[in-house]
A = this chain, B = another copy of it.
C-alpha cells in the first residue's frame, strides 16, 4: 500500500503541478464529470462556487432556431445548470448511442469540463466528449469506441509537396498487421473540411476506431487511410506548428487561396506519389478511393474529376462544391451547365464507370440546397450515384455516420 500511496501522490503532484499545491487540491473529493448513468442519462458537474449562472451547451440538447450568417438554422439551446454547495449540475434525458460533445458557459465564459480529459479540438476551440455505447457492435457509440479488437496504427508522417513547395504533415492509418508484414493494401484518401487539418478525421471523425471496428466485424476490407491537410498554405495543424496558426482563418489577411502557389487539387498527385512510394499499396484506380466532408467533399469532387481515371470510389459528405464562381449556397445548376465544362468533365469521369459515387447530406445542413442543385446536375446528365439523406446538419455526427456507410462498400 505504501508504494501505491506514493504513486497516487506522485500522480496528483504531476496532475496539479507543484505550482498549484497551495490550492489544497490534495484533499477533498474530486468531481467526476461526465457520469453516464445506468438509464443512459448523463450527469455533468462543475465546481464554480462564485458563479452567478452556469449553462451547459452540447449536441445532445434539444434543437432551437438560431441566427447564423446563413439565416435561421437549427442549433442547440443551452441548458441552465443547478447549483448546490458551489457545484453546478445538469442531468440529460436518456441518450441514444453516439459520441457527444459539450462545453460549459460560466457567467458568459465558455470553457471545457475540467473533470473530463476526453477533449477534442475543432479548429480553434476544444469541447469535451463522451460516448454512449450501444447494445450492438454496429451502434454508433460502439463503432466510435476503442474496443477489444485488433488495432491499426495511426501515424503522423511528413512528406514533401514539390507542387506547394512545402513539407507537410499527414495522418496515415495502416491496418493491424501492417508493421512487419508484407501484404499490400488499397488506399482511401480522406479529406477534412474548412477549419480542420490532418488531425480532424482521427480526432473528431474517429476514423481509426471506425476502421478497426468495421474490419474486425468483417464489414470492411483492410485498407490504408491517408488523411491530408487540406489548407494549401499550412504545413501542419496549428497546434503542432503554431507559426502556421491563423493563416487560413484570419479574416484580416488576403485571400488564402491566392496565398498558396497551387491548389489542393493541383498538388494532390504529390500525396499519391508519396504514399505509393513509401507504403505497401495496391496500385491503380480499383485500389484508390477518395472522400471528404464539406470543403474536403469539394476537394474530392474536384480531384476525382480532374484525375478522372484514378479513383473507382468517390465519397462526397455534405460537399461544398464551387462551380461557375458560385458560393455553394448560391449554386445555380443552369448557370453551371451553361458556363462551365462540368458536364463534359463529369461525363468523362463517369465514362470510366467508377464503382461508387456517393453523395450524403443532412436535411438541415446549410449546404442542403446547394447539394440538391449539384444533385440535379448529376440527374440531368443521367450519371449513376448513390445518395444518402439523413437528419441533422453540417456536423461530425453525420460525417462519422457517412464514413461508416461508405467504407464497407470500398474495394469489393
Contact = CB atoms under 8 A, between A and B. Distances in A.
Given A4-B255, A21-B66, A151-B158, 15 more contacts: A6-B320, A6-B328, A11-B195, A11-B249, A13-B69, A15-B123, A18-B394, A19-B61, A21-B67, A21-B75, A50-B109, A117-B125, A117-B126, A119-B119, A119-B126
Contacts of A169: 151
B257 A3 contact: yes
B158 A107 contact: no
A276 to B, nearest CB: 10
Interface string A10-52: 1111111111111100100000000000000000001111111
27 contacts: A3-B322, A4-B256, A7-B295, A10-B193, A10-B294, A14-B195, A15-B123, A18-B68, A19-B59, A19-B66, A19-B75, A19-B78, A20-B110, A22-B66, A47-B109, A50-B107, A111-B111, A111-B112, A117-B126, A117-B239, A119-B121, A146-B240, A151-B158, A153-B155, A154-B156, A179-B278, A180-B277
Contacts of A241: 146
A2 B327 contact: yes
Contacts of A106: 106, 109
As for how many copies of this chain the complex holds, the number is 2
A12 B257 contact: no
A15 B67 contact: no
A388 interface: no
A114 interface: yes
Interface residues of A, number: 112
A58 interface: yes
Contacts of A50: 52, 107-109
A13 B123 CA distance: 10
A107 B48 contact: yes
A255 B123 contact: no
